Each structure stands twice: as structure tokens, then as C-alpha cells.
């Protein structure tokens, strides 16, 4: 009876929201080259964390895409986080091919040497980027999954608070929701907040009293695991 409130829409990739990022790639370290060997940016909405030890992410790219050949050839890529100021540029990089246009030049963006890599460029205008080396490629069907080990993460100075923590909300990050870009809203909680002490909640979420009162009707957490 419970499933009567749901409507089946078929087996489709309806996982949302997902991160939407710009992946930087190049055929080799000579970024002055023109044409289809120039450094490139590709918009990826199918990206995610795969492992913490070692830290790894996966990105899915169609084999026929220009960037697929670049990542395969170099064995490197960068994952550049995207804030609202870069939204239009990110969309452009998803509908235009690097075979036809130099996206960095056309958009007035700038490739920079990614820390920990020798070939793939990072995006200078991004709020943060992850430097990745390909450890495995898995053919899944329409897309190939590149599993990349994260060699380094770099965050722009302006997004660090005085205490050294990172202010992701100031980055104005965007998400992908079934063909649409969405802004991220206010912070609602943090990992473990449902069982955190009132002192911890006041320290970590001083401006969110609702997060502290939302648990009033909840039962105490069990000490048992599993």
C-alpha cells in the first residue's frame, strides 16, 4: 500500500542534486598549442567522491567527447568547483566542444598550473580545485568512469575564515537538478548534528536555533552501532 503514493517514471538517472563542476584537461604540458590540442574545460554533472583512503573522485565522460581523449592521453584532470559568477561559463563549456573553440580564450578564463600535476590545468577563477591522477578507467556503457586519486586540493585565500576554516557558503556554489542549475541555500546542519550536544550546536551553528530545537521530539541515540 505504501507505494501507491509514488509514480514510476522509468529507469533513468534521476539522482539529484549532484555537483556541477568544470573539469580541466590537456593533451600535454604545452598549453600554447591551438586547435584540438589546446587545454580544455568540460562541464561535468556526474562526479562524486569514491574513496577517502586514498582520497578519490570519479567523473563520467562519454567516449566521443573531446575531453575523454585528453584525459586518457595525459592521465590527469582537475575538478574545479563552480560558484554563481561562473555559471554561464560553465554552461557554455557543456554545450561547446574543445574541438571547435578554445574555451579558455573565448570566455576570458585562465589556465593555471595545478599543484601536484604536470599537464592538466586548473581554472584560475574557480573558488577551489582538486588535482587528480587517473588510477582506473571503467567502461560502463554510454560513459566511461575515470577514477582519479586526489593529489592536492587548493582553495582561494579569500574563502578562508580567520580561524582557518573554509567558508563554502561564500563560494556561492551551484548544483545540478535534473537538467537545471540550482543555488545552494543556507546551512541546515552538519555531520552528526542530530546527536550533538547543545554546546556543540551553539558553537558550530550559532545562527540556526531551528537546528537545535528540531530534535526536541527525537529519542536519545542508541549507544549500539550497526
With 70 as the cut, is the pLDDT of residue 80 above it? yes
Distance CA 82, CA 152 (A): 18
Q: Answer for the pair 37, 67: CB distance below 8 angstroms, yes or no.
A: no
Q: What is the pLDDT of residue 224?
A: 47
C-alpha to C-alpha distance for 135 and 92, rounded to whole angstroms:
29
What confidence score (pLDDT) does residue 28 get? 84
The reported pTM is 0.88
Q: Per residue in 119-173, pLDDT tens?
A: 999 999 999 999 999 999 999 999 999 999 999 999 999 999 999 999 999 999 9
pLDDT single digits (tens) 34-52: 666 689 999 999 999 999 9
User: Is residue 177 pLDDT above 50, yes or no?
Assistant: yes
Q: Which residues does 167 contact at the CB level (< 8 Å), separation at least 6?
A: 159, 160, 161
- The CA distance from 75 to 133, in Å, is 6
Distance CA 205, CA 193 (A): 10
CA-CA-CA-CA torsion for 116, 118, 123, 126, nearest 10 degrees?
Answer: 0
Q: How much is the average pLDDT of 189-201? A: 89
pLDDT of 171 reads 96
Amino acid at each position: 500500500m505504501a507505494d501507491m503514493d509514488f509514480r514510476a517514471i522509468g529507469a533513468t538517472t534521476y539522482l539529484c542534486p549532484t555537483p556541477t563542476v568544470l573539469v580541466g584537461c590537456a593533451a600535454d604540458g604545452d598549453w600554447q598549442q591551438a586547435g584540438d590540442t589546446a587545454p580544455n574545460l568540460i562541464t561535468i554533472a556526474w562526479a562524486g567522491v569514491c574513496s577517502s583512503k586514498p582520497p578519490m573522485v570519479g567523473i563520467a565522460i562519454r567516449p566521443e567527447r573531446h575531453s575523454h581523449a585528453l584525459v586518457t592521453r595525459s592521465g590527469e584532470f582537475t575538478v574545479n568547483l563552480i560558484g554563481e559568477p561562473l555559471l554561464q561559463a560553465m554552461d557554455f563549456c557543456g554545450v561547446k566542444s574543445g574541438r571547435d573553440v578554445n574555451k579558455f580564450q573565448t570566455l576570458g578564463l585562465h589556465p593555471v598550473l595545478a599543484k601536484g600535476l604536470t599537464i592538466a590545468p586548473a581554472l584560475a577563477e574557480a573558488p577551489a580545485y582538486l588535482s587528480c591522477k587517473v588510477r582506473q578507467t571503467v567502461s560502463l556503457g554510454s560513459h566511461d568512469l575515470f577514477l582519479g586519486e586526489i593529489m592536492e586540493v587548493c582553495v582561494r585565500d579569500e574563502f578562508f575564515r580567520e580561524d582557518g576554516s573554509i567558508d563554502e557558503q561564500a563560494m556561492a556554489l551551484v548544483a545540478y537538478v535534473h537538467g537545471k542549475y540550482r543555488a545552494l541555500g543556507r546551512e541546515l546542519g552538519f555531520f552528526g548534528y542530530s546527536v550533538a550536544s547543545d554546546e556543540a550546536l551553539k558553537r558550530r551553528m550559532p545562527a540556526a536555533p531551528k537546528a537545535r530545537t528540531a530534535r526536541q521530539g527525537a529519542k536519545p541515540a542508541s549507544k549500539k552501532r550497526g
